[in-house]
A and B are shown apart, each in its own frame.
Chain A
Amino acid sequence: MNRRLTLRLGMIAMLAAFASPVVFPQFASPSAGAAPGSAFSIPQDQLLQPDALNRLLREAGAEKPLVLQVGSHVLFAEAHIPGAEYAGQGSLPAGIQQLQNRVSALSRKKLIVLYCGCCPWNRCPNVGPAFAKLREIGFSNVKVLYLADNFGANWVEKGYAVEKGR
C-alpha cells in the first residue's frame, strides 16, 4: 500500500514538474502569470526548436521563412543564422519601430521566425515584445526560435551554420 501511494505521489510530482514553466519553459503556455512582454508570454505552439529550424532552412523546396534577429546588433554581427536580418532590439521602442518598418509591406501570412539568444530564455527582454507587435499588426504565421541558454550554446555550439557581419 505504501509503495502504491509512493508511486502515485511520485507520478503526481513528475506531472507537476513537467507542466512547470520553470523546469520546462518550452512547455510553458501563456497564462495570466506570464509577465507581458516576457518570453513566457509566447504561446508554446509558436516556439520552434533549433533543430527544427535548421532542418527547415536546409530542406530543398520548403518555404523559407523570413528570419529576423531582434536582440543585440553586436551579437548579430558576431554570428547569426544564415540569411537572417537584424530587425532592431525588441525591448526598445526604436527597435520595435524598426521591426514594424521591415515587415510593413509583407503579406500577413508570411512565415516569420524571430530569435534573439542574448541571454537565457527566461531572461530575454526582446522576443516577447517583438512577437506581440507582429501579432498585433496582423501577422498570423510567426514563430519564435526557442534558445534555452543563448545563441552560442543552443545554435553555434550545436554545429549549425552561421554567418558573420552586420
Chain B
Amino acid sequence: MRTAVPRCWSLACLLVCVCFAAGTARAAESLLHKNAPEFVLADLNGNKVDLHAYRGKVVLLDFWATWCAPCQLEMPRFVAWQKQYGPRGLRVIGISMDDDPELARKLCKKLRLNYPVMMGDEKIGELYGGVLGLPVTFLIDSHGVVRAKFQGETDMNAMEEQLKALLLQP
C-alpha cells in the first residue's frame, strides 16, 4: 500500500509530461502532413503565382527577408537546386517578408534568383502557421502535402536529402 501511492503519482506526473510534450509538438508541427495552404499572389514581376498550379511538382517554399543573414546563406543553394533539380520536378518559390519590395527586388537581382518571389504579409504568415522568425522553409510534395518544415539556420545537406527523397516519390 505504501508503494502504490508513490507509483500512482509518478505515473500521473509522467502522463502530464507526455501530454504537455505532445501538445507542444502538435502546435509546432501543425502543418506537417496536411495540405499546404493555398494562395495566389503576384510575384515581383507582376506574374500570378498559384500554388495549386504546382501540383505534380515538388515545391520548396521559402520565407525570407533582406535583413535575415541566414536567409542570404540559403538562397544561393536554392538557386543551385532549382537549376539542378528543376528538370526532375522541383519548383522553388520565395516569399519575402520585407516591408519594402524595392529592397527585396534589389536582393533578388543581386543573388540572381531563378525562381518567383512574392511579397508576403501577416496573412500568409498566419496561413503558414505563424512565420515569427526567419528563415522558414517548407517542402511540399507533388500532391500538395507539407512534408517538412525547417526553421532557422538549417543543415542544408539534410534539407537536400529530404528534397531528393520527395523527388523520387510518385
Cβ contact within 8 Å between A89 and B126: no
Q: Which residues of chain A are within 8 angstroms of B134 by Cβ–Cβ distance?
A: 118-119, 150
Is A149 interfacial (CB 8 A cutoff)? yes
Cβ contact within 8 Å between A153 and B24: no
Smallest CB gap from A158: residue in B: B24
Cβ contact within 8 Å between B122 and A117: no
Tell me what chain B mostly uses at the interface: helix, strand, loop, or mixed: loop
Q: Which residues of chain B are within 8 angstroms of A125 by Cβ–Cβ distance?
A: 67, 69
Is A79 interfacial (CB 8 A cutoff)? yes
Cβ contact within 8 Å between A91 and B67: yes
Could you tell me the distance between the alpha carbons of A2 and B3 in the complex, rounded to whole angstroms? 44
Interface size class of A (residues with CB under 8 A): 20 to 34
Cβ contact within 8 Å between B70 and A119: yes
Cβ contact within 8 Å between B28 and A118: no
The digit string for A54-92, where 1 denotes a CB below 8 A from any CB of B, is 000000000000000001111101110000000001010
What's the A-B contact tally at a CB cutoff of 8 Å?
82
Cβ contact within 8 Å between B122 and A150: no
Cβ contact within 8 Å between A151 and B132: yes
Cβ contact within 8 Å between A119 and B133: yes
Q: Which residues of chain A are within 8 angstroms of B130 by Cβ–Cβ distance?
A: 78-79, 152, 156
A89-B99, A119-B134 in contact; A77/B121 too (CB < 8 A)?
A: yes
Tell me the minimal C-beta distance from A43 to chain B in angstroms: 22
Tell me what chain A mostly uses at the interface: helix, strand, loop, or mixed: loop
- Most B CB within 10 A of own CB, among A78, A126, A150: A78
Interface residues on chain B, number (Cβ under 8 Å): 26
Could you tell me the distance between the alpha carbons of A141 and B38 in the complex, rounded to whole angstroms? 46
The digit string for B113-128, where 1 denotes a CB below 8 A from any CB of A, is 0000000111001100
Could you tell me the distance between the alpha carbons of A117 and B98 in the complex, rounded to whole angstroms? 14
Cβ contact within 8 Å between B97 and A75: yes
A72-B97, A157-B24, A157-B27 in contact; A78/B67 too (CB < 8 A)?
A: no
Q: Which residues of chain B are within 8 angstroms of A79 by Cβ–Cβ distance?
A: 130, 132
Cβ contact within 8 Å between A118 and B125: no
Could you tell me the distance between the alpha carbons of A150 and B28 in the complex, rounded to whole angstroms? 14
Cβ contact within 8 Å between A150 and B152: yes
Q: Which residues of chain B are within 8 angstroms of A150 by Cβ–Cβ distance?
A: 132-134, 151-152
Cβ contact within 8 Å between A74 and B152: no
Tell me the minimal C-beta distance from A159 to chain B in angstroms: 9
Q: Which residues of chain A are within 8 angstroms of B152 by Cβ–Cβ distance?
A: 119-120, 149-150
16 contacts between A and B (CB under 8 A): A71-B67, A75-B125, A78-B130, A89-B67, A117-B133, A118-B68, A118-B133, A119-B134, A119-B135, A123-B69, A126-B67, A151-B132, A153-B151, A156-B130, A157-B27, A164-B122
Chain A residues packing against B (C-beta within 8 Å): 71-75, 77-79, 89, 91, 117-120, 123, 125-126, 149-153, 156-157, 164, 166
Chain B residues packing against A (C-beta within 8 Å): 24, 27-28, 65, 67-71, 97-99, 120-122, 125-126, 130-135, 151-153
Q: Which 3 A-B pairs have the closest CB atoms?
A: A150-B133, A152-B132, A77-B122
